[in-house]
Chain A
Amino acid sequence: MVRIKYIIIAVLVVIFGIWGIWAAVHFFQSEEKKVKKQFHLLSKWTSKETGENTFAMAQKVKNIGKLFAEHCELKANVISFTGRYTTEEISSYAARARFPFSNLSLQFYDFNVAFPEEGSAKVTLTAKLTGRTATGEDVDETHELECALKKIENKWLFSYLEVVEVLKK
């Protein structure tokens, strides 16, 4: 009987321990992790699986817009997409850009996160876009990105995004 009591206590301690670690990781994230999380969300919502339904697509596109500040500056000479855009414009551009693909994957590597001042973050990273168009053409693009994020209402939002020209033709 005493033994069972100890086992129950041990199990409870383990459960509370795991829950405590999860809570600590979840609620006390460092600012760097919060910034990186925005990129993971961007990657998740930009990516597309074969046979994605219209509802999922609309939800993802809407969510992409939520990651950006109200007026975000984009500089992407490789796709002729340069200027200041609103979240709605970014969402509609994302919808148009995703449409021709049957599957799409956006992955980020080599994060270099810096906080030049409070409430703003500068991130340099490598973005790799792979996918296949509906016509069967493979796409494999890799670019270096320079991004700036601003902390607005306790959320890190993209305010500037530039595609760096590594090789100048």
Chain B
Amino acid sequence: MLKNRYAKVWKHIWLPILCNIKVNSLQWNQPARPPQYKSMVSPGLNMTDGNKKIRQFFFPSLTFKFLIRASLVALFAYLFFGHLCTPLLIKGRSMEPTYRDGSINFCWKLRYIFSEPKKYDVVAVRFAGNKVMLLKRVIAVAGERVEFRNGKLFVDGKEMNEPYVHYPCHWNLPPRQVEKDCVYVVGDNRNMPIENHHFGQAPMKRIIGGPLW
């Protein structure tokens, strides 16, 4: 009984609000409408009505339901695109060819809520806030030793296969151990002097998510 009532409430109140669906209210404690009114509600497909519908779609009348619907859509968009899945404009070439300069992506912030970044994941590293962040690839996790020998990456003394690196690299970096609660991040494009590339050990608390694709 209760379930049926909830279904009615959902069908007659929330569904029309959220989806702008016209529901036949005759089924729910409403007096029957006269036939002439019914035909007005469900008009035929003549040009005037079509224009009306188009106008109604682009310039909807400011009804209470519309305002609630618009507010819900705005709230959802703000929460989703402002806090959970923020749009990213990639600037710079440090992650090429995986992520091109000027391309657009989204930062999915729930990615590392229940898990920690794994080796070879691409992660977003924040600065003071969320407006500017670094996009880098995790090459080693806490406790591992990282080293570059003539452009080749060695983790714990073992040479790693890096299919995402497409450009020549001649880096040399003495071995160093990744500290606790940190990950070692580097860009995919290492075709530049090592001094000009922004890479290194990042604390886990600075990792705010990863790109959506």
- Chain A: which residue is nearest B199 at the CB level? A167
- Chain B: which residue is nearest A124 at the CB level? B128
Q: Does B185 contact A (CB under 8 A)?
A: yes
Stretch from A58-66, A88-96, A138-146, A153-161 contacting the other chain: A138-146
Q: Does B201 contact A (CB under 8 A)?
A: yes
Residue in A140, A144, A168 whose beta carbon sits within 8 Å of that of B128 in the complex:
A144
Residue in A111, A143, A167, A169 whose beta carbon sits within 8 Å of that of B125 in the complex:
A167
Say how far B179's CB is from chain A's closest CB, in angstroms.
Answer: 8
Q: Contact between B130 and A110 (Cβ–Cβ < 8 Å)?
A: yes
Say how far A127's CB is from chain B's closest CB, in angstroms.
Answer: 9
Q: With A166-B125, A168-B200 in contact, do A126 and B91 touch (Cβ < 8 Å)?
A: no
- Chain A: which residue is nearest B182 at the CB level? A168
Q: Contact between A126 and B129 (Cβ–Cβ < 8 Å)?
A: yes
Is the interface on chain B under 10, 10 to 19, 20 to 34, or 35 or more residues?
10 to 19
Q: Contact between A167 and B91 (Cβ–Cβ < 8 Å)?
A: no
Say how far B127's CB is from chain A's closest CB, in angstroms.
Answer: 4
Q: Does B202 contact A (CB under 8 A)?
A: yes
Q: Contact flags (1/0) for B182-195 with A, using CB distance below 8 Å?
A: 00010000000000
Residue in A124, A126, A166 whose beta carbon sits within 8 Å of that of B131 in the complex:
A126
CB proximity to A under 8 Å, residues B151-201: 173, 185, 198-201
Q: Contact between B206 and A166 (Cβ–Cβ < 8 Å)?
A: yes
Interface CB pairs A-B, < 8 A, 12: A110-B127, A110-B131, A112-B129, A126-B127, A126-B131, A126-B132, A142-B132, A143-B127, A145-B128, A166-B125, A167-B125, A169-B173
Q: Contact between A110 and B132 (Cβ–Cβ < 8 Å)?
A: yes
**Residues of A in contact, count (CB < 8 Å):** 17
A168 to B130, CA, bound (A): 20
CB proximity to B under 8 Å, residues A95-151: 109-112, 124-126, 128, 140, 142-145
Q: With A140-B91, A166-B134 in contact, do A110 and B200 touch (Cβ < 8 Å)?
A: no
Q: Contact between B198 and A167 (Cβ–Cβ < 8 Å)?
A: yes
Other than the given A140-B91, A169-B200, 4 more pairs (CB < 8 A) read A110-B127, A110-B129, A166-B202, A167-B200
Question: Among B127, B130, B131, B173, which residue has the most Cβ atoms of chain A within 10 A?
Answer: B127
Q: Does B50 contact A (CB under 8 A)?
A: no
Q: Does B92 contact A (CB under 8 A)?
A: yes
A126 to B128, CA, bound (A): 5
Q: Contact between B128 and A109 (Cβ–Cβ < 8 Å)?
A: yes
- Chain A residue contacts of B198, Cβ below 8 A: 142, 167
CB proximity to A under 8 Å, residues B136-157: 136
Q: Contact between A128 and B199 (Cβ–Cβ < 8 Å)?
A: no
Say how far A36's CB is from chain B's closest CB, in angstroms.
Answer: 13
Q: Contact between B201 and A112 (Cβ–Cβ < 8 Å)?
A: no
Q: Contact flags (1/0) for B19-46 with A, using CB distance below 8 Å?
A: 0000000000000000000000000000
- Chain B residue contacts of A144, Cβ below 8 A: 127-128
Say how far B27's CB is from chain A's closest CB, in angstroms.
Answer: 53
A134 to B45, CA, bound (A): 67
Q: Contact between B127 and A168 (Cβ–Cβ < 8 Å)?
A: no
Q: Contact between A167 and B127 (Cβ–Cβ < 8 Å)?
A: no
A94 to B131, CA, bound (A): 26
